[in-house]
């Protein structure tokens, strides 16, 4: 009996995932595009915008990160933003066309003392009619429940890379720590946003390892961000050899095939990607992106550039009756 490739599976082997990477490029992208349109309208893209609500000074040593206090990156540490200032940024993001507002904090874990302020940010953003997402480091089960009660839709917590390469990237928290936080998030009924980074000097097998880990979770991530490393001077991984664009597209395609119903985000790295590479990503199954000129601490394409990309590719924001972003509408 042949299996329907669009039906989610949780029993992938690492060899099977690696074999997908090895398919001829055109065959891989075709298969991914076929699966993509079984679950989604391939002209629709989910639009998120990021804000760093607490920047720098992080005690963790993630080797790619501008915000770790272990490396001299020139990113100054700042305190948790005031709720009003965050809501003002969320309003601007909404006006620009964002559908989800993602707030990131450079923390190892959430401290209970910060819960009331973070909860106020979440409920305030939610009240503006935006979807809410936060990424605050490790969470305990009761904290996840509190965030859900505040109106949280998504929690972002990445596995970052495959389990075999993980120790070369970060040593201050384990893969299992990350899996435990994801369990707390799922158990609280919050949607999961979980993916990783490529272009950190890992092998193709490591990239397959990341996607294998995601595809064999108890539930596939609702949102699956694939980040191309934004190289940061002063970090251990800042001088990594850039990943070939076609290999990035392959990673997107394999993510689409192993997690067919996940919303796959073409995440960090668009700033240094050609329009053609991005177009191939959308063809290969990516259907989410960050808009706005800034990610957390690094650059992202400006709205008018993305407006042109959307118009040229015939893409539209995901969802019935979704508002075309201002700059997108202006470019039509």
Catalytic residue among 3, 31, 37, 102: 102
In angstroms, give the least distance from the CB of 297 to ligand SAM: 8
Is residue 110 within the footprint of ligand SAM (CB under 6 A)?
no
Q: What is the DSSP letter of 302?
A: -
Of residues 58 and 102, the one with the C-beta less far from ligand SF4: 58
Of residues 65 and 289, the one with the C-beta less far from ligand SAM: 65
String of contacts with ligand SAM for each residue 277-316, x by CB under 6 A? -------------------x--------------------
Cβ contact 172:60 at 8 Å? yes
Positions 65 through 104 that interact with ligand SAM (CB under 6 A)? 65, 104
- Is 259 assigned a catalytic role? no
Of residues 135 and 278, the one with the C-beta less far from ligand SAM: 135
Burial code of 179-212, b = ≥16 C-beta within 10 A, e = fewer? Answer: bbbbbbbbebebbbbbbbbbbbbbebbbbbbbbb
Determine the Cα–Cα distance for residues 21 and 204; give it in Å rounded to an integer: 8
String of contacts with ligand SAM for each residue 136-175, x by CB under 6 A? -x-------------------xx-x---------------
Number of C-beta neighbours around residue 32 at 10 A: 27
229 binds, among ligand DTB, ligand SAM, ligand SF4, none (CB under 5 to 8 A by kind): ligand SAM
In angstroms, give the least distance from the CB of 88 to ligand DTB: 20
Determine the Cα–Cα distance for residues 306 and 237; give it in Å rounded to an integer: 28
Of residues 35 and 194, the one with the C-beta less far from ligand SF4: 194
Of residues 224 and 254, the one with the C-beta less far from ligand SAM: 224
- Is 173 assigned a catalytic role? no
In angstroms, give the least distance from the CB of 58 to ligand SF4: 3
Is residue 137 within the footprint of ligand SF4 (CB under 6 A)?
yes
The set of residues, in sequence order, having a beta carbon less than 8 Å from that of 196 and lying 6+ positions away, is: 158, 159, 160, 161, 210, 214, 225, 226, 227
Q: Taking Cα atoms as reference points, which of 289, 206, 212, 294 lies closest to residue 247?
A: 206
Of residues 236 and 325, the one with the C-beta less far from ligand SF4: 236
Q: Taking Cα atoms as reference points, which of 320, 317, 321, 332 lies closest to residue 100?
A: 317
Q: What is the DSSP letter of 224?
A: E
For 292, the token pair is: 């706005």
- Is 194 assigned a catalytic role? no
Tell me how far CA of residue 115 lies from CA of 272, 290, 292, in angstroms. 36, 26, 27
Query: What angle is formed at CA 202 by the lines to CA 222 and CA 272, rounded to 5 degrees?
Result: 70
- Is 65 assigned a catalytic role? yes
Among 152, 169, 230, 291, binds ligand DTB (CB under 6 A): 230
Residue 316 CB burial class (10 angstroms; 0-12, 13-18, ≥19): middle
Among 49, 52, 68, 288, binds ligand SF4 (CB under 6 A): 68
Cβ contact 249:29 at 8 Å? yes
Of residues 97 and 137, the one with the C-beta less far from ligand SAM: 137
194 binds, among ligand SF4, ligand SAM, ligand DTB, none (CB under 5 to 8 A by kind): none
Determine the Cα–Cα distance for residues 65 and 280; give it in Å rounded to an integer: 27
- Is 193 assigned a catalytic role? yes
Cβ contact 83:53 at 8 Å? no
Among 93, 106, 208, 214, binds ligand SF4 (CB under 6 A): 106
- Is 281 assigned a catalytic role? no
Cβ contact 105:136 at 8 Å? yes
Residues annotated as catalytic are 58, 62, 65, 102, 133, 193, 265
Query: What is the contact surface with ligand DTB in residues (CB under 6 A)?
Result: 50, 66, 102, 104, 135, 156, 158, 195, 225, 227, 230, 267-268, 295-298
């Amino acid at each position: 009996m042949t299996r329907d490739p669009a039906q989610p599976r949780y029993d992938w082997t690492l060899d099977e995932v690696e074999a997908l990477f090895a398919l001829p490029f055109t065959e891989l992208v075709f298969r991914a595009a076929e699966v993509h349109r079984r679950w989604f309208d391939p002209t629709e893209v989910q639009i998120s915008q990021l804000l760093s609500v607490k920047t720098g000074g992080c005690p963790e040593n993630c080797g790619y990160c501008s915000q770790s206090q272990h490396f001299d990156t020139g990113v100054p540490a700042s305190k948790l933003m005031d709720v009003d200032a965050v809501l003002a940024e969320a309003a601007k993001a909404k006006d620009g066309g964002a559908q989800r507002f993602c707030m990131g904090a450079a923390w190892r874990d959430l401290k209970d003392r910060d819960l009331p302020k973070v909860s106020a940010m979440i409920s305030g953003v939610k009240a503006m009619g935006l979807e809410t997402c936060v990424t605050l480091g490790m969470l305990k089960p009761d904290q996840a429940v509190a965030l859900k009660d505040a109106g949280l839709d998504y929690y972002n917590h990445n596995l970052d890379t495959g389990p075999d390469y993980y120790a070369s990237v970060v040593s201050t928290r384990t893969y299992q720590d990350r899996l435990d936080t994801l369990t707390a998030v799922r158990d609280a009924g919050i949607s999961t946003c979980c993916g990783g980074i490529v272009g950190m000097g890992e092998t193709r097998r490591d990239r397959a390892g990341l996607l294998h880990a995601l595809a064999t979770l108890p539930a596939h991530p609702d949102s699956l961000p694939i980040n191309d490393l934004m190289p940061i001077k002063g970090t251990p991984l800042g001088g990594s050899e850039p990943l070939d664009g076609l290999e990035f597209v392959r990673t997107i395609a394999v993510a689409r095939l192993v997690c067919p119903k996940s919303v796959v985000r073409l995440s960090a790295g668009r700033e240094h990607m050609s329009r053609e590479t991005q177009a191939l990503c959308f063809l290969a199954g990516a259907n989410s992106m960050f808009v706005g000129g800034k990610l957390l601490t690094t650059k992202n394409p400006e709205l008018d550039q993305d407006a042109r990309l959307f118009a040229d590719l015939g893409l539209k924001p995901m969802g019935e009756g979704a508002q075309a972003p201002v700059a997108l509408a202006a470019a039509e």
